């Protein structure tokens, strides 16, 4: 009897202990700031913690408390975020500035690295260096794996105020051409600058759209942010650049280099011969559609993903329409590469306000997004709701893939792919990018056309004085350059004659000082 | 009154005292006569103090290295440094000259346009036609600038624009207008300052004309005066006060050429006539957060505007006995 | 006189065109707009853009708000403006010159966005309807215009009324205001249009989504249609950001546009004469 009782007692004791242990697995971590003990559970705070957040970027992405991704994150970390930015405002810059002016800064602020650095230096945000060291192992690892990210967010006083958005994926723009026209005119895909010229010339003179008029527009562009980036992408063909670029570890300025007048001279010639859209300056952001639709568009150098979209639009309307990517032509210096490359780091991220009473929990919350779990959550969303596992890979649901603009839909509806501090996964984009574009991207990847990240123009961080001086000089010289460039292209003046005086004037306006500032920041 | 004058003539020390006294007398009289009106002025002035003058301390940021975070109290005072930066820029004189020229051309061409429209409308006897024209001309004001510019660009296109098609029919060569600096001012003023606003601005003058005593016209007709004579001798003089006030206000705004429409219309090759102060400031990204420099530009506009208005007001008072103050 | 008719006719057509374009474009497809095929008639006729506008959450509340801000705003503005313009129109009112200068200055010197915003915060008017109504009650320009109209009334009018024993208040209400109907309508229209189109400060000062006026909501809708160039060839579907913009223009301006012809009736000539005993 006693033995059985003892056995029973033992069994019950063991059962109790086993039960107690497994229960502990789901209990919250009891030592809040003792991160060494936090191996079980992803809770970063013992008690449910609510933090306020200012997130308002690209004028339209405003933090929504209902976003599935963040709600799920709250379940996992015990931290709930409450957005403070007004949903009515459509100017992210204004909203940020007014928030800072009002003195009421929320616990977490999402903004540009530049803003966080600037105001961090003034005391609005706390330096995160030590916090990362002690409490954010995943962020630490991410910085080790992505040194350019760490460099970018380290402000000139050595402090890190931002946990940035780290991009994934290389492709930005590619070279596109009408494959059906090439076929029609019996031409090979252009391989060199000279080939390209000949092909464009053929487009113009041999009437590939078959309507008896020389209305073809061999090269067109949607325009860029600087106002004149319409055809300056073509400068690559002669090894020239329209602005600052990185070569052999040194930042140089395109318009000061000897290749520049050669490129301009050629572009003026092309424009004169009608190879470049005569109205390229005013045609606007719909140019690709407009010209594709009129069956006059021959070639372009534009964003991979979106440009491929014209194919779906016009394949029925225009017989045989095929606007596809091809390898960058080898330029006159014998180089063959695509110079547009995605920045490895986004220019935004989030930081911790000086008034935040829970900095340790906050940095741990930031750290969560760099864990495998957090990364998947932000890249793909919640399993079952936004994606399902197919062959071990997260695959978006049909609802999402048929949403029209997938990237935008994911962001606005679920909060997926918000540019907070986390590392993106290009796999998310592969699922919905236009197949023609995807083919092109693969072509470029496999052949190594994309330049290495180290050779890409770096993201630079400046002190406020440097920033001011740099901006001021840059506005001046860009005004001067753009004005002259357009005149040369239009044929209103001759680049070969004007160039020496032009170059001298640029230097007088501070072009070399500008380079000095950039190089100083680069080499820091 | 007479005794005061005598006092003024005789003893000097009493001069100031009596002038002062005379002043107080005037004030007392005025208060008595216009008691209620002064009462009405109270809420009016209060509004200005609360909503306009109270925040005006903010102008001090033009003299500071302003940070939105540090606020006015915490930002460093830098005296005239911002002004030196502003005036010393490579392109300051060019942008100032362009701003001024556009302003002046606007005054010469765009200012009279709505007046002319109101006068012409006044001559139309058919009230349906008049009403229709009035409504139609008032419409472009409500179409946003971006859209109007889009239409302008279309019209001026060398390949498909109506203007060029017309030019070609007349036997001339097509012109890529928007890239030629010599056309910029004309295009900008014709479209943004006349086409877009003529009907809306004309309303003021139409209302003023409506207030003219018809018996004046009747008398003139009986004297055999033609309609044109009536327009010049009755209508225009009667609405002259309105015209003068509008003129003075426009002169004061001569430098306020907004950047929104110009940014959409200009091209680097037209910078030499099109780049104005506000567009240059915009390109420098200075509108984003660098409020100190933006305030400097505003202050500059304000001071110049004020000086011009002071002059215009004096002139107006001399010529027409009527002014802003 | 026929030249007059011709000139005015041409001007009217030229001015009408942008509106016709916007109207037609709002019923066209995004693709057609992007291709540039629309210039007078709709292409790919559809009402999708309007559907997007009408079904946007909160649109009718916003519309109601706009009506509120406009009607109440105009009433408040007229009150304040008359309070200023009428006294200032009296030739012998002591201090009128100084006050006129005092308010004129504000047309050139204003504090700038941040100090103005902080002022609202300081007055506790952030996110309040009162703030929107009161903060923008006066336009100095309109005050001067109204003052000029008041000045054009003959003094004999007032003098005879005073002799009949009327006080200032009665004079203002019973004589002056009825006679300056065209002026009041003009100023009322200017304030009304400004309120109706008012967007920036409403956006900045109002956080509560139930208080925002139409223009703010419409602007939100337009921005929501913004898609980064790298992700979409954009503007190529049944509706696009552009067609939405056009639909919003039509939707938000149609009421004001329709109103104007009715107001024109009051610009009849000789509205002033009425009761002058000659």
* C-alpha distance from B89 to closest chain A C-alpha (Å): 8
Q: Do A303 and C230 touch (CB under 8 A)?
A: yes
Structural domain boundaries of chain A? 49-168+346-430, 173-340+454-523
pLDDT per residue over A65-79, tens digit each? 999 999 999 999 999
What is the pLDDT averaged over residues A357-371? 95
What is the pLDDT averaged over residues A493-518? 94
The per-residue pLDDT for A297 is 93
φ, ψ (nearest 5 deg) of residue A246: -110, 130
Quick check: C36 and B159 in contact, CB under 8 A? Answer: no
Q: Do A472 and B284 touch (CB under 8 A)?
A: yes
Instruction: DSSP letter for B58, please.
Output: G
Instruction: Judge whether residue C79 has pLDDT over 60.
Output: yes
Catalogue the long-range contacts made by A224-232 (C-beta closer than 8 Å, 24 or more residues apart): A226/A478, A226/A482, A227/A482, A227/B268, A228/A281, A228/A482, A228/A485, A228/A486, A228/B268, A230/A280, A230/A281, A231/A267, A231/A271, A231/A276, A231/A280, A231/A489, A232/A485
Q: What residues in C contact A307, CB-CB < 8 Å?
A: 233
Quick check: A350 and A99 in contact, CB under 8 A? Answer: no
The per-residue pLDDT for A392 is 87
Q: What residues in B contact C167, CB-CB < 8 Å?
A: 36
Provide the CB-side half-sphere exposure for A149 (13 A, CA). 24
pLDDT confidence band for A40 (50 / 70 / 90): very low
Instruction: DSSP letter for A424, please.
Output: -
Does any domain span residue B69?
Answer: no
Question: Please, what is the average pLDDT of chain C?
Answer: 88
CA geometry: angle A284, A285, A286, nearest 5 deg? 95
Size of interface A-C (CB pairs under 8 A): 97
- Report the SS3 class of residue A472: helix
Does any domain span residue B38?
Answer: no
Does any domain span residue B72?
Answer: no
The dihedral formed by the CA atoms of A43, A44, A46 and A52, expressed in degrees to the nearest 10: -110
Instruction: Judge whether residue A3 has pLDDT over 70.
Output: no
CA–CA separation, A141 vs A129, rounded Å?
Answer: 13
Instruction: Judge whether residue C171 has pLDDT over 50.
Output: yes
pLDDT per residue over C80-112, tens digit each? 999 999 999 988 888 899 999 999 999 999 888
Q: Do A101 and B285 touch (CB under 8 A)?
A: no
- Report the SS3 class of residue A399: helix
Q: Of A141-145, A191-195, B208-212, C78-82, which gets the smallest average pLDDT?
A: B208-212
Q: Is B289 left (phi over 0), alpha (psi -120 to 50) or beta?
A: left
Instruction: Judge whether residue A89 has pLDDT over 50.
Output: yes
CATH number at residue B101: 1.10.3720.10
* C-alpha distance from C250 to closest chain A C-alpha (Å): 21
The per-residue pLDDT for A7 is 56
pLDDT per residue over C13-66, tens digit each? 999 999 999 999 999 998 888 888 888 999 999 999 999 999 999 999 999 999
What is the total count of domains within chain B? 1
Those residues of chain B whose CB sits closer than 8 Å to some CB in chain A are: 67-71, 85, 89-91, 150, 153, 157-159, 176, 178-179, 267-269, 271-272, 275, 280, 283-286, 288-289, 291
Report the greatest alpha carbon distance in chain C: 77
Task: Determine which of B55, B61, B67, B68 to mutate to test the interface with A (most A C-beta atoms within 10 Å).
Answer: B68
Beta bridge partners of residue A267, listed in sequence order:
none
What is the pLDDT averaged over residues A184-205? 95
* Domain A173-340+454-523 in the same topology as domain A49-168+346-430: yes
Does any domain span residue B234?
Answer: yes
Instruction: Show the low-confidence residues of chain B (pLDDT under 70).
Output: 1-17, 285-289
What is the pLDDT averaged over residues A265-283? 93
Q: Considering CB atoms only, which of B38, B56, B291 is closest to C109?
A: B56
The per-residue pLDDT for B303 is 93
What is the pLDDT averaged over residues A100-110? 93
Q: Do C83 and B40 touch (CB under 8 A)?
A: yes
Length in residues, chain A = 524
CATH code for the domain defined by A173-340+454-523: 3.40.190.10
* C-alpha distance from B16 to closest chain A C-alpha (Å): 50
The per-residue pLDDT for B14 is 57
What is the pLDDT averaged over residues A110-123? 92
Terminal alpha carbon distance of chain C: 34
Percent of chain A with pLDDT over 70: 91
Quick check: B157 and B164 in contact, CB under 8 A? Answer: yes
CA–CA separation, B78 vs B64, rounded Å?
Answer: 5
CATH code for the domain defined by A49-168+346-430: 3.40.190.10
The per-residue pLDDT for A495 is 93
Instruction: DSSP letter for A87, please.
Output: T
* C-alpha distance from C272 to closest chain A C-alpha (Å): 46
Does any domain span residue B227?
Answer: yes
CA–CA separation, B233 vs B217, rounded Å?
Answer: 10
Quick check: C193 and B60 in contact, CB under 8 A? Answer: no
Extended beta strands in chain B, E state: 64-65, 76-77
Q: Do A472 and B71 touch (CB under 8 A)?
A: no
Q: Of B24-33, B255-264, C154-163, C229-238, which gets the smallest average pLDDT?
A: C229-238
Question: Please, what is the average pLDDT of chain A?
Answer: 88
Element (H, E) at A37: none
* C-alpha distance from A216 to closest chain C C-alpha (Å): 15
Catalogue the long-range contacts made by A198-202 (C-beta closer than 8 Å, 24 or more residues apart): A199/A299, A200/A270, A200/A275, A200/A298, A200/A299, A201/A273, A201/A275
**How many helices and strands (H and E) does chain A possess?**
22, 15
What is the pLDDT averaged over residues C144-157? 87
CA–CA separation, A84 vs A94, rounded Å?
Answer: 14
Instruction: Judge whether residue A15 has pLDDT over 60.
Output: no
In chain A, residues 215-234 whose CB comes closer than 8 Å to chain C: 222
φ, ψ (nearest 5 deg) of residue C195: -65, -45
Cα torsion C216, C217, C222, C228: sign: positive
In C92-213, which residue ranges form alpha helices assigned H by DSSP?
96-105, 113-122, 129-135, 140-151, 155-163, 168-170, 177-179, 181-197, 200-205
Percent of chain C with pLDDT over 90: 58
Length in residues, chain B = 325
Instruction: Judge whether residue C269 has pLDDT over 70.
Output: no
Q: Considering CB atoms only, which of B29, B134, B324 is closest to C264?
A: B134
Q: Do A309 and C34 touch (CB under 8 A)?
A: no
Give the CATH superfamily of C66-208.
MetI-like (1.10.3720.10)
- Report the SS3 class of residue C274: coil
Percent of chain A with pLDDT over 90: 65
What is the pLDDT averaged over residues A177-183? 95
Q: What residues in A contact B271, CB-CB < 8 Å?
A: 479, 482-483
Q: Is B212 left (phi over 0), alpha (psi -120 to 50) or beta?
A: beta
pTM above 0.80, yes or no: yes
Selected residue with higher pLDDT from A252 and C267: A252
Closest-approach residue (CA) in chain B for A490: B179
Chains adjacent to C (≥3 CB pairs closer than 8 angstroms) = A, B
Structural domain boundaries of chain C? 22-58+214-269, 66-208
Does any domain span residue B8?
Answer: no
The per-residue pLDDT for A6 is 61
What is the pLDDT averaged over residues A133-137? 94
């Amino acid at each position: 009897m006693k033995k059985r009782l003892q056995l029973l007692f033992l069994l019950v004791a063991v059962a109790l202990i086993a039960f107690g242990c497994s229960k502990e697995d789901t209990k919250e971590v009891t030592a809040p700031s003792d991160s060494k003990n936090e191996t079980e559970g992803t809770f970063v705070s013992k008690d449910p913690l609510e933090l306020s957040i200012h997130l308002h970027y690209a004028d339209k992405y405003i933090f929504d408390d209902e976003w599935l991704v963040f709600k799920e994150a709250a379940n996992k970390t015990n931290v709930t975020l409450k957005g403070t930015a007004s949903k009515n405002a459509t100017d992210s810059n204004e909203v940020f500035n007014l928030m800072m002016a009002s003195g009421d800064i929320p616990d977490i602020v999402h903004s540009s690295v530049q803003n966080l650095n600037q105001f961090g230096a003034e005391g609005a945000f706390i330096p995160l260096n030590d916090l990362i060291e002690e409490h954010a192992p995943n962020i630490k690892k991410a910085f080790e794996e992505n040194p350019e990210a760490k460099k970018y967010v380290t402000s000139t006083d050595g402090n890190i105020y931002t946990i940035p958005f780290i991009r994934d994926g290389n492709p930005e723009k590619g070279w596109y051409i009408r494959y059906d026209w090439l076929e029609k005119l019996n031409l090979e895909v252009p391989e060199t600058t000279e080939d390209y010229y000949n092909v464009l010339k053929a487009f113009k003179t041999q009437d590939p759209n078959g309507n008896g008029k020389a209305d073809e527009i061999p090269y067109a562009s949607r325009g860029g942010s600087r106002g004149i980036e319409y055809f300056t992408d073509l400068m690559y063909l002669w090894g020239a650049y329209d602005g600052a670029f990185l070569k052999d570890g040194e930042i140089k300025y395109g318009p000061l280099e000897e290749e520049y007048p050669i490129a301009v001279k050629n572009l003026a010639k092309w424009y004169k011969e009608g190879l470049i859209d005569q109205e390229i300056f005013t045609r606007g952001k719909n140019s690709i559609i407009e010209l594709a639709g009129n069956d006059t568009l021959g070639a372009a150098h534009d964003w991979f993903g979106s440009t491929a979209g014209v194919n779906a639009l016009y394949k029925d309307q225009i017989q045989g329409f095929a606007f596809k990517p091809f390898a960058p032509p080898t330029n006159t210096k014998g180089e063959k590469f695509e110079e547009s490359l995605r920045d490895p780091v986004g220019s935004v991220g989030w930081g911790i306000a000086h008034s935040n009473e829970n900095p340790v929990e906050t940095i741990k919350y930031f750290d969560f997004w760099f864990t495998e779990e957090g990364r998947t959550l932000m890249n793909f969303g919640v399993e079952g709701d936004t994606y399902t596992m197919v062959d071990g890979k997260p695959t978006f649901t049909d609802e999402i893939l048929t949403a029209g603009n997938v990237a935008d839909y994911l962001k606005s509806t679920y909060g997926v792919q918000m540019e907070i501090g986390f590392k993106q996964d290009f796999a998310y984009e592969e699922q919905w990018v236009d197949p023609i574009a995807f083919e092109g991207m693969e072509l470029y990847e496999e052949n190594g056309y994309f330049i290495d990240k180290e050779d890409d123009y770096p993201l630079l961080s400046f002190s406020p004085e440097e920033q001011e001086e740099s901006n001021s000089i840059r506005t001046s010289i860009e005004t001067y350059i753009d004005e002259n460039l357009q005149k040369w292209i239009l044929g209103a003046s001759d680049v070969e004659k004007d160039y020496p005086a032009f170059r001298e004037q640029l230097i007088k306006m501070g072009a070399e000082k500008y380079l000095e500032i950039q190089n100083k920041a680069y080499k820091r | 009154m007479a005794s005061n004058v005598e006092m003024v003539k005789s003893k000097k020390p009493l001069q100031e005292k009596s002038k002062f006294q005379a002043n107080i007398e005037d004030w007392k009289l005025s208060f008595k006569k216009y008691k209620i009106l002064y009462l009405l002025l109270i809420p009016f002035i209060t509004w200005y103090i609360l909503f306009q003058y109270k925040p005006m301390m903010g102008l001090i940021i033009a003299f500071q290295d302003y940070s939105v975070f540090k606020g006015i109290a915490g930002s460093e005072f830098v005296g005239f440094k911002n002004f030196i930066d502003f005036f010393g820029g490579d392109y300051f004189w060019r942008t100032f000259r362009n701003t001024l020229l556009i302003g002046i051309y606007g005054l010469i061409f765009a200012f009279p346009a709505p007046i002319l429209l109101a006068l012409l409308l006044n001559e139309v006897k058919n009230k349906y036609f008049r009403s229709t024209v009035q409504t139609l001309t008032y419409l472009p004001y409500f179409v946003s600038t971006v859209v109007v510019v889009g239409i302008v660009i279309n019209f001026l296109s060398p390949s498909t624009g109506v203007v060029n098609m017309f030019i070609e029919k007349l036997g001339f060569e097509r012109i890529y207008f928007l890239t030629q600096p010599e056309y910029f001012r004309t295009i900008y003023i014709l479209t943004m300052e006349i086409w877009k606003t003529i009907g809306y601005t004309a309303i003021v003058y139409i209302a003023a004309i409506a207030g003219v005593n018809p018996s004046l016209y009747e008398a003139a007709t009986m004297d055999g005066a033609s309609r044109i004579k009536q327009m010049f001798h009755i209508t225009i003089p009667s609405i002259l006060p309105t015209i003068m006030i509008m003129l003075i206000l426009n002169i004061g705004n001569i430098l306020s050429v907004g950047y929104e429409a110009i940014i959409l219309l200009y091209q680097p090759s037209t910078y030499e006539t099109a780049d104005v102060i506000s567009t240059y400031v915009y390109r420098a990204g200075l509108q984003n957060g660098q409020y100190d420099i933006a305030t400097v530009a505003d202050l500059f506009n304000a001071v110049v505007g004020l000086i011009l208005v002071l002059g215009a007001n004096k002139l107006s008072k001399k010529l027409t006995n009527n002014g802003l103050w | 006189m026929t030249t007059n008719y011709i000139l005015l006719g041409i001007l009217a057509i030229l001015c009408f065109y942008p509106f016709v374009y916007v109207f037609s474009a709002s019923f066209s497809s995004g693709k057609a707009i992007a291709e540039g095929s629309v210039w007078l008639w709709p292409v790919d006729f559809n009402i999708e853009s309007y559907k997007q506008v009408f079904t946007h959450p909160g649109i009718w509340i916003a519309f109601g708000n706009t009506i509120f801000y406009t009607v109440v705003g105009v009433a408040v503005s007229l009150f304040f403006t008359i309070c200023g313009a009428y006294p200032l129109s009296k030739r012998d009112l002591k201090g009128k010159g100084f006050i006129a200068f005092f308010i004129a200055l504000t047309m050139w010197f204003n504090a700038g966005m941040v100090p103005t915003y902080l002022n609202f915060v300081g007055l506790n008017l952030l996110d309040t309807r009162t703030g929107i109504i009161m903060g923008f009650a006066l336009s100095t320009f309109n005050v001067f215009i109204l003052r000029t109209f008041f000045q054009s009334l003959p003094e004999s009018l007032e003098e005879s009324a005073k002799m009949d024993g009327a006080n200032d208040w009665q004079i203002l209400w019973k004589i002056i205001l009825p006679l300056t109907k065209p002026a009041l309508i003009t100023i009322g229209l200017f304030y009304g249009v400004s309120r109706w189109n008012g967007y920036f400060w409403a956006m900045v000062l109002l956080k509560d989504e139930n208080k925002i006026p139409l223009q703010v909501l419409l602007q939100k809708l337009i921005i929501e249609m913004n898609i980064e160039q790298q992700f979409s060839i954009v503007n190529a579907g049944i509706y696009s950001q552009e067609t939405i913009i056009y639909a919003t223009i039509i939707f938000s301006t149609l009421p004001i546009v329709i109103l104007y012809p009715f107001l024109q009736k009051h610009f009849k000539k000789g509205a002033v004469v009425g009761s002058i005993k000659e």
